[in-house]
């Protein structure tokens, strides 16, 4: 079941949902609008390797905006820091953003119960589009969980995105691979 605006407010009063900064006019009937933070990142190399940490170049979006171009993956970040305890948050792009040909996430629209951080956005565009820090980009929708959670996201040893940062976080897929053992020469 999706939480209504009243249920979101109640959960915030109980500390089960945290949204900072919170703006009353961003609370919809059953969602909360989030905004593009001031930073973007791009990978430094055109080819990426899932077994390795791929370095990124981070930069601030200029006041007059920044043009995203097709064929380039951009990592953005939400302006809002969020915490979700006892619910599952989903991040969806706003229809107005989609109508500009902007995708704000490739696959990572679902958060985990216990996720406490800014949201990294995997942004791509169909045509060149100028974007601006602070523009509405998505909406958070909260779902109730059926049953008790055995282990919250923040308590999982395998949780790779726990370090709180207002900067876009690149892929940490490489942490899913066992460390390679080097053979000693005799």
User: Is residue 80 among the annotated active site residues?
Assistant: no
What is the pairing mode between strands 74-84 and 17-20?
antiparallel
d(CA 89, CA 53): 27
Residue among 25, 42, 36, 11 nearest 131 (CA):
36
pLDDT tens-place string over residues 53-103:
999 999 999 999 999 999 999 999 999 999 999 999 999 999 999 999 999
Residue 49 has pLDDT above 70, yes or no: yes
Residue 56 in 3-state DSSP?
strand
> If one looks up domain 5-171 in CATH, what number appears?
2.70.40.10
Those residues with Cβ within 8 angstroms of residue 129's Cβ, 6 or more apart along the chain or in another chain: 67, 68, 100, 101, 102
What is the pTM for the complete model shown?
0.88
Q: Is the dihedral of CA 167, 18, 93, 141 positive or negative?
A: positive
d(CA 185, CA 174): 26
pLDDT tens-place string over residues 25-39:
999 999 999 999 999
Considering the candidates 14, 92, 113, 122, report the single residue annotated as catalytic: 122
Note the pLDDT of residue 112.
87
């Amino acid at each position: 079941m999706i939480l209504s605006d009243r249920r979101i407010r109640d959960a915030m009063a109980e500390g089960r949902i945290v949204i900072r900064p919170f703006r009353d006019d961003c609370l919809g009937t059953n969602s909360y609008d989030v905004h593009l933070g001031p930073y973007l990142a791009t990978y430094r190399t055109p080819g990426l390797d899932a077994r390795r940490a791929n370095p990124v170049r981070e930069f601030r979006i200029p006041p007059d905006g920044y043009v995203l171009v097709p064929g380039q993956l951009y990592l953005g970040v939400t302006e809002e820091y969020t915490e979700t305890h006892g619910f599952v948050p989903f991040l969806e792009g706003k229809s107005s953003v989609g109508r500009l040909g902007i995708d704000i996430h490739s696959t990572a629209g679902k958060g985990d119960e216990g996720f406490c951080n800014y949201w990294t956005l995997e942004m791509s565009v169909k045509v060149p589009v100028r974007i601006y820090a602070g523009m509405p980009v998505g909406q958070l929708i909260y779902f109730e969980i059926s049953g008790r959670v055995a282990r919250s996201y923040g308590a999982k040893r395998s949780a790779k995105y726990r370090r709180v940062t207002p900067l876009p976080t690149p892929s940490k897929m490489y942490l899913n691979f066992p460390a390679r053992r080097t053979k000693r020469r005799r």
